[in-house]
Structures are given as structure tokens and as C-alpha cells.
Amino acid sequence: MPEMNGAESLMRTLVACGVDTCFTNPGTSEIHLVAALDRIPQVRCVLGLFEGVVTGAADGYARMLERPACTLLHLGPGFGNGLANLHNASRAQVPMLNLIGQHATYHLRLDTPLQSDIEAIARPYSRWLRTATASSELGHDAAAAVAAARTAPGRIATLIVAADVAWSEGGVVAAPPALSAPSAPDNSNIEHASAMLRSGLPTAILMTGNALYGKGLAVAGRIAAATGAKLLAPYPVARLERGAGLPAVERVAYVLEQAVEQMKEFRQLILVGANAPVAYFAQPGKDSAFTSPECEIHTLASAGEDYVAALEATESALSLPHTEPVAEKAARPAMPDGAITLPGLAMVVGALLPQNAMVVDELMTSGRGMMAATRGAPPHDWLGNTGGSIGIAMPLAVGAAVACPDRRVLCLSADGSGMYTLQALWTMARERLRVTTVIFANRDYAVLKREFSYLGVGEPGGRALAMFEIGRPDLDWVHLAQGMGVPAVRATSLAEFARALRNGLESDGPTLIEVPL
Amino acid sequence: MPEMNGAESLMRTLVACGVDTCFTNPGTSEIHLVAALDRIPQVRCVLGLFEGVVTGAADGYARMLERPACTLLHLGPGFGNGLANLHNASRAQVPMLNLIGQHATYHLRLDTPLQSDIEAIARPYSRWLRTATASSELGHDAAAAVAAARTAPGRIATLIVAADVAWSEGGVVAAPPALSAPSAPDNSNIEHASAMLRSGLPTAILMTGNALYGKGLAVAGRIAAATGAKLLAPYPVARLERGAGLPAVERVAYVLEQAVEQMKEFRQLILVGANAPVAYFAQPGKDSAFTSPECEIHTLASAGEDYVAALEATESALSLPHTEPVAEKAARPAMPDGAITLPGLAMVVGALLPQNAMVVDELMTSGRGMMAATRGAPPHDWLGNTGGSIGIAMPLAVGAAVACPDRRVLCLSADGSGMYTLQALWTMARERLRVTTVIFANRDYAVLKREFSYLGVGEPGGRALAMFEIGRPDLDWVHLAQGMGVPAVRATSLAEFARALRNGLESDGPTLIEVPL
């Protein structure tokens, strides 16, 4: 075997472990890792012009493929730029592998300008964290990182690689690690869940992760059909498969009062990977729980356990008669016309959403009717913001499009959210990703205006409004998109929106539609 | 005294401590702090659409005024988005006070989507860090944070404020804290520095902080004139006052070989607040030190000591005859014409730079001739990237313009750097800041291409180049700026650049000039 440096052994180990996509924004300390990638065509490298794009894309990729991409980021500050979307990824419980360059080990004593405590910066969002210390071990480190990332349901693993560890010879490609299977579900939990489902009391099953698509969803659908239980997804949903012919899953509402109303019928709630549903934020004098005090909450499976197996075991324990799952009926809204309204926009989306689309949804206040209008559309996946840190939509869309090049992405973003990571548009253009981004331009952090009144602080005055209103000047998303090479139009009527959306969904690359509200 | 809540006592304490500017991107958990600001017109609130803009602006503000602005940021992920420019601010050694909202204390047990370990995220860049626990103490916490931020030469202080601590009554405005003066310089260090300066050996004085402007620079200029010592500033310079009539200070070069050439004449190097000059990055088989092994390096004053007093004491110890400082002569380059070249662009800037300008410089590979062409321009300040994390220029420009509304900002940015925090343009437009931004569009991370060859990895191949070249598609900065409300033009000749620059420097608000290279 020819001599190779640490960097090359790391990258070749990743290839051996099935990691074939690298989202990156590299710097000088990562040059040898870039040079290794230069020689390894098996890895697709996708450049982002800002690290929040990189980490958000790796999240979207993992949500669709259930395996990790790697990121390649520059030192502590570069990793720091990716932190907010790592927060979201940690809440999505996806597998992800971050590679962070570090100064050469002997350079650290000099306290140079870019020096930082990378481990300290990386620790809060890395379930597995290691600083590589030897070129000969770098392959093993990479394999261990992949194993950590693929620990169910999915973890963020971070490997810090000093420049001299990367550039020194002596690298050894490691064999792919044995992956640990998710834990078997607990029998007593299964028995209790089946007893609940047999009780006849109004029951909901709140699920996350792979219970919300594929086999997991199918089993859940059969249980729901046979027992009358309702299937729920959390508001912060990572991925939900839905549409005509699939079991109906309702998403829990964001707004406390709406969610309380939604949950009040249930006397029993079974959790599969999910937390009990509560408000994102506390409000003075109000309870944060969505469920009524009489509702019994039971955890059937928690993170790290096998959600699908738990559902299957519950189905077996129930000895269900064969029941056809209650599937959503194929139905699209009539194509609306006239002035822009939120219900009208949702109807257009429902009328046009193509089969197998991946819908990325970070609409906040503007998008509440979107899911109802698309429930009978052809089957598709729905990807939400899982951690509440805004600025994930366009990066997620990049990652989903890279993961599934044959499927189209409809990316629905509020303008305020979109501004955090608008650099993603450039990556869409460079990679010719089939993403249609719709910017709902209300020119507000509208959710904050609402919360202001909501928290009992009265009506915001002029100075507070100035911190919530993002007009003055209005953002012009047509210009912003064109500035990054994405063709864009502004839609000022539902007919214009429908035309633009149809064009976008048929386009061979990215497009953007700004919809002033 | 009327009852007030914690939030109001915090903000009123900041006002009492002279903190009158808040750069912010708030969220729901900061609503009560926003509501307090709504009632306190003494604080100017400046909204950024991304947190890296906010922290970079607070850095620029502090560099010019030598006192802290506060930032107001949303939970751990919002603070995380500001991390890279906090890295730069920590290297600039500026005072800064971060306020971070936190969930209500009793809400934390619920592990809601936005929950994070804020202290862990904030710790790496916070020299002072506290989570407030009682409304009645919030005023004191704020005063303590200001005292920490104003500890010489300047520190980042971070105060985490839970929503219920902010909204509960019982707030008490605290008195401004006693500020600790910088430590007196050490006598033996002063005596040794004077002996070095008397020795006749070729000597340089490498300075940072307030030694590079105002009184400090004047004293250093007299010492240099009388002893023949050369004055140097580090490449990562926070603020350097320069121009016609001021002592000449040379900036240490970025590139190892150039810096070694620049430093080789010196047998003695006196450090005032600065580290010994070394390469940012290690290169295999090369020494990182810029100074020759024979050069004696002596620290006259280090961080926390009084740089100006150290220079004054050294001047006294030298018993210098009265010498006129050697001042830069007033001289501007002739206005060039013809095609765009880097020297030509520098000449135009040198010909047009107005008195009292604040030049923000993040040009990386394109700007090496800019300082020579402006050395005889009317007096101005030069603000660089101190921590090497790119994406500081436009945020710094925002902060400097807010700090000194009567002065003009010339913001020189590379295209790659600019993309990290381009949202700053929107804040410039909203606040009508007199910032002229020039984007040097080489459509490359050119420094990485150079480093690739430099590190002995050979020439980058197609896959590596794809990670260094940010064309395909080219960014269109005219569109990007217009998208955020900033008038913009593209200059394709030196005459066009001169016309655009003159217009920009006379404009009553922000403008942007894209210069394709």
C-alpha cells in the first residue's frame, strides 16, 4: 500500500464508511484535507459561502438519506458560524460528521490571531468530540466518528484535525465500523401502550424520526386505523411523509391556545421519540403544557430506541384484525384567483405540488394553512425547523436536493428567516439544484409582534416596532436572488404566483418567487 | 421610586453607566428587554438581520469610542451566529457587553426546541460571564458587566437574562461601577526598553490598542523621532491613526516571506500590547517567526497595562531632547486612469480619501498596496480584521458609522469575505449610515489558492479549485446591494471607480461599488 498522509487516510476511510458528500467552507488550516478531496472523486464536495449553509445542508441531507454527510469547516470561528443550524440539527436528531481544521500542533503555543478553543466551541452541539493526535490514527478516528454519528437516532460527531496531523505521512485507511443498532423497545412500555390503545379512551400517538415516514408510518397508520388513535407530529418536525394514500398525521400547532384546543380531546398520549408537547416559550402566569392535566402521557420509545420496532411490537401485542389504514384521499384545492392571500397561496401550492416533492417549511406566522391545503396532494415529504433557530429553510433545501437529485424541493421561507442564510441561494445556483424558493415577504419579524402583545407587555411602541419590522428599506428578494445567480420573480397576484410556481417546479435549476404580503 | 421590572432596571443601569447604543437581533425570550428599551429613548437601538452583523458592529463602535455598546441576542443559537465576530472582537481587545435572553427559569425543565447550554456557548469568548438569577440584582449584574467590559484594554462581558428574571418586578437601578484603571507599567520593563532605545541598535516598536492613536501615538512618534526606532502595527490591527502630519507607522506584512524581509533589519523589538509577530498559519518545515533569531524581543507593556503611560514613562526615562516627530508629509497620488489594476485602485483611494475618514480594510489578497497609497492622505483611522475570521468589514463599518456619525466610512472588502455578513448592507440603508463599501470582486478565495501552493501541496486540481473559486455563478454585488436598499454601481475602469467613489463619499447615505478584478 502506498504511503499516504493523514488527510488522505481520513477521507478514504469516510468513503469506505459510505460518506460520499462533503458540504464545506474550508480555510487555510483545512488545505491538506481539500488536497485529499482533490484526489478522491467519490466524494461530492458542495461549497457554501457561509457555514450556516453548510451545517443546515448536512442536516437536510441526513433527514432524507438517514446517513451522514460530512462538513469541513475552518477552525473555531468557522464552526461557530455553523452553530445555529447545528442546534437545529441536534434537535432533528440526524447523523452528521463535522471535520474542523486546527492549527499545526506546534503552532498553538504562538497564540496567533485565529487561535481559539475549538473543543469548547464544538462541545455544546457535539455528542461525540475528538481532537485527532496522530496521522496513523486519523483513519480510526474517522471511523469512530462515523459510528458515533450513526448511533440511533442520529448524532452530531465532530473531529478536530490539526494541520500537521493531516499533512504528515503514515495515514492508514480504517475499516468501516460496526454500527450499533438502536436499542430494542422495552416490553413493559409496549404492553402499557397496547393497553392504552385497547382502552377505548381518546388517544393520540405523537411521533418523531423514522416513525413519520416509510415503514414506521405504515405501521402507525394500521394501529391508528384499527384503534381510532390519532397520529400526531410535533410542530418542530424533521421529516413527515404525507399526502394522498398515506396515513393522516396532524402536526401539533405552534400557538399555545391552538395547541391546547387541538390536544384537549385526548385522555391518553403515547410518545414515540417525541417529548410531551409544550409551548416553545413560557408566558407569565400560563401553563406551558399543551395536554390537559387529565391526559395520561406514556413514552413508548425514546431517543436511542427503535421506533419502528416499538410500533411493530405494539401492533403485534394488539393482535389487530386486518384493517385498511385510513389514507388521505387524493384531493387538490381548486386553483384560486385574485389578490394574494395566505389561504390563496396555500391553495396554489396544494394545486401544484408535484409527486415526491420535498417541502421545506419555515413560514412561521404566514404558513399555518399550508399543510391543510396539501394533505391530499401526491405523496411528498415535509421538513420543518426542528430547533426554532431561524435560517434553516434554504440550507435544508440545498441538502435535500443534493441527497435526492431526482426529487424537487419547494422551499417556503419567511423573509426574516431567509435573511440569516441567504447565501444558500448561491449554492443552489452553482449546483443547479431543483429548488423553488418562495419568500413570504411580510417585512416583519411578525412572530415577535404577536409575542409582544401575547406576553402581556401591551402594544409595542415605535422603538420596539423598529426592532420587529424589517421594512424600511424593504428587502428586494428578486435582486438578492439574481445577485447570487438564481432567476427570480415577484408575484403580486395569485395567478402570477401560480404561473411562477409552475415555471419553478418545471425548471432545471433553482428559482425564487417573492410574494409581498 | 416607582416599581419597575428587572428588564427596566437593567436598561436604566446601562444608561447610567454610559451605555447608550444597543446593536440587536432579538427574539421572543428578549421581548421584555425590548419592551424596556421601548421606554428608554436614551438608548439608540440598531437592528441587524443577522447576529454576526450585530457583534461586528459592536466591535467597530468600541474601537472608535473606547467604550462598550451592548448587544441583545436571542438565546444560545442567536449568540452562536455572532460568535465569529466575537472572536475578532476578542482579538481586538475591545469592550463589549452582550445581553442574551434565556427561557424562563421554570421553563428549562421542559427541554423545549430552543433550549441550549447558553453558558457553554458563551464561555469561549466571554471574559466575564454571568447568568442573572434575581430581578432585584439585575441592575447590579449590569453594572458589574460594564465594569468587566471596561477592564483594560477591553473585554467581552456576557450577561444571560432569563425571561422571568426580566419580567418580574423588583428591579433596582444600580449606580455606575468604579472602573479599574489599567495597571501601571512595570519600572524594570521601562528601564530595559529605554536602554534598548539608547543602544543605537536597529529597533522597532510594535504597538496595539490605544498606543496606535491619539496621545499614545504622539508619544510613540516623539520616541521614534528622537531614537530612530521604527513604529510598527500588527497586520491584525484594530485601529491605526495615520495620514499627513502623523507619525509614520508601518503595518507588518501578512505573507511570511514579506514580513521576514520587513523585520530582518531589526535587532531589537519592543512590544506594547502586541504579541511577537508570527505567521497566522504554520507551514511544513518553515519557522513561523517573523523576527530573526538574533532579534531581542522585549515586552514593555502587555494587555491590561497602561500602554500610553508605558510610552510616556519610557520617554521620560530617555530624557529626550525636544525633537519634532517625523510626520508623514501631505501627499496624494496623482489620479490614475485606464483599466482597473490593484495599484490603480489604491491610487484612486489615496487621491480621494477624505479627512477624518474611517477606513475598514478586509481586502486580503487584493489590498496590499492600499496603505502605501494613503499614507499622505489627510488624517484618518484604519480598522483591520483582528482575528482572521472573515466577514467583519461591513459590520465594523456599521459600528464605526454609528459611533462617529460625523465621519465617513470607506469599507474595503473582498467578495468572499463580504458574503459572510452581507446583511450589514441593510442596516447601513436603514440607519442611513455614510458608508461607502467597495467590493473587490476577484471571485476567489484567493488567499486559499495561494496557500495551497504555498503549503507544498502542488497546484490545486479541479475539485480543489471548485472549493476556492466563488464564481460560477459570479456574485452580482450591484443586485445584492440594491436588494438591501443600498444604491450600487459597478466600476469597470479607474475613471468609473473614481467617479463612483467621489459620489459615494459625498452621499448622504450608504453606497456600494463593485469592482470586478
- Looking at residue A1, its pLDDT comes to 54
| Cell, residue A307 | 421506533
CA distances from A486 to A24, A400, A438, B60 (A): 20, 18, 12, 33
- Judging contacts by C-beta atoms under 8 Å, the chain A residues touching residue B279 are 112
Q: Would you call A124 and B117 a contact, using CB atoms and an 8 Å cutoff?
A: yes
| Cell, residue B143 | 453594572
Task: Of A196, A226, A203, A231, give the one whose Cα is nearest residue A321.
Answer: A226
Query: Do strands B128-131 and B240-242 pair parallel, antiparallel, or not at all (unpaired)?
Result: unpaired
pTM above 0.90, yes or no: yes
Residue B2 burial by Cβ neighbours in a 10 Å radius (0-12, 13-18, 19+)? exposed
Task: Of A155, A197, A161, A152, give the one whose Cα is nearest residue A35.
Answer: A161
| Cell, residue A271 | 410518545
Q: Would you call A87 and B77 a contact, using CB atoms and an 8 Å cutoff?
A: yes
Contacts of B128 (CB under 8 A, 6+ apart): B144, B145, B148, B149, B155, B156, B157, B158
Q: What is the mean pLDDT of residues B323-350?
A: 94
H-run or E-run covering B261:
helix B256-263
- Judging contacts by C-beta atoms under 8 Å, the chain A residues touching residue B78 are 84, 389
| Cell, residue A231 | 397520529
- Chain B residue with minimum CA distance to A47: B467
Q: Tell me the residues of chain B between 458 and 497 that have a Cβ less than 8 Å away from chain A.
A: 458, 460-464, 466-467, 470, 472-480, 482-485
- Residue B47 is classified by DSSP as E
Q: Residue B2's pLDDT band (boundaries 50, 70, 90)? A: low
Q: What ipTM did this prediction achieve?
A: 0.97
Decide: B401 and B476 in contact? Cβ < 8 Å.
Answer: no
Centre a 10 Å sphere on the Cβ of residue B187 and count the other Cβ atoms it contains: 10
Q: Would you call B464 and A35 a contact, using CB atoms and an 8 Å cutoff?
A: yes
Q: Tell me the residues of chain B between 71 and 130 that have a Cβ less than 8 Å away from chain A.
A: 75-78, 80-81, 83-84, 87-88, 91, 103-104, 106-107, 110-114, 116-117, 120-121, 123-124
- Looking at residue A2, its pLDDT comes to 65
- Looking at residue A452, its pLDDT comes to 86
Average pLDDT, whole number, for chain B?
96
- Alpha carbons within 13 A on the beta-carbon side of B273: 30
Q: B331: distance to nearest CA of chain A, Å?
A: 33
pLDDT tens digits for range B212-262: 999 999 999 999 999 999 999 999 999 999 999 999 999 999 999 999 999
- Looking at residue A320, its pLDDT comes to 84
Q: Residue B1's pLDDT band (boundaries 50, 70, 90)? A: low
Task: Of B418, B424, B433, B417, give the one whose Cα is nearest residue B395.
Answer: B424
- Selected residue of A389, A426, A475 to mutate for chain B interface (largest B Cβ count, 10 A): A389
Query: Do strands B96-102 and B156-162 pair parallel, antiparallel, or not at all (unpaired)?
Result: parallel
Decide: A366 and A442 in contact? Cβ < 8 Å.
Answer: yes
Q: Is B426 helix (H, G, I), strand (E, B) or coil?
A: helix
- Selected residue of B484, B489, B512 to mutate for chain A interface (largest A Cβ count, 10 A): B484
- Judging contacts by C-beta atoms under 8 Å, the chain A residues touching residue B284 are 164, 167
CA distances from A353 to A329, A343, A510, B355 (A): 15, 15, 16, 58
pLDDT tens digits for range A12-28: 999 999 999 999 999 99
Q: Which of A163, A460, A482 sits opposite B282 (nearest CB)?
A: A163
Q: Is B411 left (phi over 0), alpha (psi -120 to 50) or beta?
A: beta
- Selected residue of A116, A208, A255, A459 to mutate for chain B interface (largest B Cβ count, 10 A): A116
Q: Would you call B103 and A476 a contact, using CB atoms and an 8 Å cutoff?
A: no
Q: B224: distance to nearest CA of chain A, Å?
A: 27
Q: A103: distance to nearest CA of chain B, Å?
A: 7
H-run or E-run covering B396:
helix B393-403
- Residue B300 is classified by DSSP as E
State phi, psi for B414 to the nearest 5 degrees. -75, 155
Q: Give the residue carrying C-alpha cell 395569485.
A: A494
Q: Which of B275, B288, B420 sits opposite A107 (nearest CB)?
A: B288
| Whole-number Å distance between alpha carbons of A347 and A342 | 9
Q: Is B482 helix (H, G, I), strand (E, B) or coil?
A: helix
- Judging contacts by C-beta atoms under 8 Å, the chain A residues touching residue B53 are none
Decide: B130 and B191 in contact? Cβ < 8 Å.
Answer: no
- Chain A residue with minimum CA distance to B236: A113
| Whole-number Å distance between alpha carbons of A204 and A271 | 9
Cβ of residue A38 closer than 8 Å to a chain B Cβ = yes
Centre a 10 Å sphere on the Cβ of residue A181 and count the other Cβ atoms it contains: 10
Q: Which amino acid is at B173?
A: V
Task: Of B174, B113, B191, give the one whose Cα is nearest residue B138.
Answer: B174
Task: Of A325, A344, A362, give the one whose Cα is nearest residue A244.
Answer: A325
Cβ of residue A455 closer than 8 Å to a chain B Cβ = yes
Provide the H-helix boundaries in A155-205.
163-167, 187-198
Q: Is A192 helix (H, G, I), strand (E, B) or coil?
A: helix
| Whole-number Å distance between alpha carbons of A443 and A515 | 11
Cβ of residue B297 closer than 8 Å to a chain A Cβ = no
Q: What is the largest CA-CA distance in chain A?
A: 72
Q: Which of A120, A448, A463 sits opposite B28 (nearest CB)?
A: A448
- Chain B residue with minimum CA distance to A280: B112
DSSP assignment of A1-54: ----BHHHHHHHHHHHTT--EEEEE--GGGHHHHHHHHT-TTSEEEE-SSHHHH
Q: Which of B112, B388, B479 sits opposite A280 (nearest CB)?
A: B112
Q: Would you call B24 and A467 a contact, using CB atoms and an 8 Å cutoff?
A: yes
Taking 50 as the pLDDT cut, the residues of chain A under it are none
Q: Give the residue carrying C-alpha cell 419579524.
A: A445
State phi, psi for B415 to the nearest 5 degrees. -65, -40
| Whole-number Å distance between alpha carbons of A211 and A240 | 9
- Chain B residue with minimum CA distance to A484: B475
| Cell, residue A497 | 404566483
Percent of the residues in chain B that have a pLDDT greater than 90, as a whole number: 92
- Judging contacts by C-beta atoms under 8 Å, the chain A residues touching residue B288 are 107, 110, 112
Q: Residue B455's pLDDT band (boundaries 50, 70, 90)? A: confident
| Cell, residue B35 | 419592551
Decide: B76 and B117 in contact? Cβ < 8 Å.
Answer: yes
pLDDT tens digits for range B407-434: 999 999 999 999 999 999 999 999 999 9
Decide: B102 and B75 in contact? Cβ < 8 Å.
Answer: yes
- Judging contacts by C-beta atoms under 8 Å, the chain A residues touching residue B80 are 80, 83-84, 87
Q: Give the residue carrying C-alpha cell 438578492.
A: A480
| Whole-number Å distance between alpha carbons of A306 and A207 | 12
H-run or E-run covering A435:
strand A435-441
Whether a cis peptide bond, with omega within 30° of 0, leads into A153 is yes
First-to-final CA distance of chain B? 62
| Whole-number Å distance between alpha carbons of A402 and A158 | 22
Q: Residue B326's pLDDT band (boundaries 50, 70, 90)? A: confident
Distance from the Cα of residue A19 to its chain's centroid: 19
